[in-house]
Amino acid sequence: MITVCKQHVKESINLLNVPHVQRLSKTHEEQKCTFCGEQAHFKLFYSTPIENTLFKIKMKSSVS
């Protein structure tokens, strides 16, 4: 995941292959833009949080 300010959303999307974009919640207000260090407003990542959770659950069940 990278966090970005409003000015760097387009630039960051171009760096990632088919990223997911979400506005940062109030609990992540302290996050800084990866490019310039200003306050971040969005997070970009490759899998949605629920997909990531499901993957971890599947991995744990196959290891047991």
Total count of domains within the chain: 1
More confident residue, 14 or 56: 14
How many other C-beta atoms can be found within 10 angstroms of the C-beta atom of residue 45? 15
More confident residue, 30 or 51: 30
Supply the pLDDT for residue 45.
78
Residue 35, domain extent? 2-63
Q: Answer for the pair 48, 21: CB distance below 8 angstroms, yes or no.
A: no
pLDDT in tens, 20-43: 778 898 888 899 999 899 999 988
Secondary structure class of 32 (helix, strand, coil): strand
